[in-house]
Structure 1
């Protein structure tokens, strides 16, 4: 296995996890490492300890596909730590083009996942696509909660966010926004607050070890309907990524700064009238097609 390639894919996953609405699990699926990731995480259990005692650490390390996990997690951490500031800056300086890119990314990713089905989509299976879309839409449209930035809240946020991060279609960042923890955690990453990051990481480990087993079970036993549900999750999250939106209400974050609380989607033409700003439709379409090209390129590389 090309572990440097796995590392680069991890960087892309980390970059995706910074963005509200984009899941690192989606990138893993497109890059062709999703099943390996779930299987490797699932193998971190009591069997790992048994192999260690019986055959030594080297065999136990191979049992959990350790080099793969280190390369991937290293890339994810590098992606989050190095690209958090860049993504934050792009969302402020070029919001329409940035959101357009992510919109195109999720749209083509849903199509990519839909094509992985082994059997034809029946009406019954189509219901799973609809259910996934409705579920994601409701989640993305809920009013954000207001959790206090405490140790327990950070652990809880980490456990929920990591579940979303490995689930294609639902973004860990989106979960943090819903919990009211996105801005504080982004600031913790940018300013490298060790205590906060360690608590969040502990929450992630707990959530990851439990949730990965559940996803692995459904992927293996009910692959087609699971893929349809995940495709629905992606399509249902698209309204959150719509490039043309205005802020309806604001809130004060943990740093005492005003941040958007509720937003409303508009058509590009309505956006120009309401905001008195250009819709930049041409560049938005170009960036959407760039995202499509990126996914098709990743798909081709993963097959090669």
Structure 2
């Protein structure tokens, strides 16, 4: 249903934003936290200091730079963490976080996985981790980039999102024997209070309100649903935090429940990050950080558990096609 109470202060219903409205929106965005302090520095400490142990098995790769100085912000170097001893015969696991920069546990969960488990799993698979694809969004706590473009609808050819384009480029060079792709996300209350209304205003349509699920859930690929894989991940995460229940219509965020805690999207058709590869096992996590029953530590841990279980399940089932 539409929710006129959440009418957005920029734009006119029925008219998509032009340059004036986009500029007005951008003028409201402010830096609220530091990508350098919270993402880059921890990566540097972990990977460039020999006594960390990670330096022997992982390397930090700068795969691009986003220059938003003209918009009044900064230059943002983009980093991936890659297995140092890359072996073509090993299966490859891709982990992406921070496609939506405001979804904190997607970024912090990826960093926690690198710190705690990268060394262990790098003995069995090639690992490529992009912990923060949208650093401007991380700093400004935003879903979009400065051009009011959603990177997670932009994983397409000739992408209008510099964030998505850079990520696709580096992933394309590491796709041999790609087995798993885990894309780390959150669903937050601000999806209804800010980002949903902003999107509707940007596109000149009425805002369609939906209930925010209280709990963790997964989004599989409708073209490659892998239900046993999704089920195993839900079982593992249920030991860490609660799983979202379907609403009265049997849905989560408007999509029919496929199984407990799992819905499916057409990821490639929608230009989602989770659709940019041909990996056999693909899922998108959705953590609910606003739940009174989940702490930030639980949210991060849910992301980590998903990655670990995904790798273990995929290795156990990669022989059978």
What's the TM-score, normalizing by structure 2? 0.27
What's the TM-score, normalizing by structure 1? 0.28
The structure carrying a bigger strand percent of its residues is 2
The structure carrying a bigger helix percent of its residues is 1
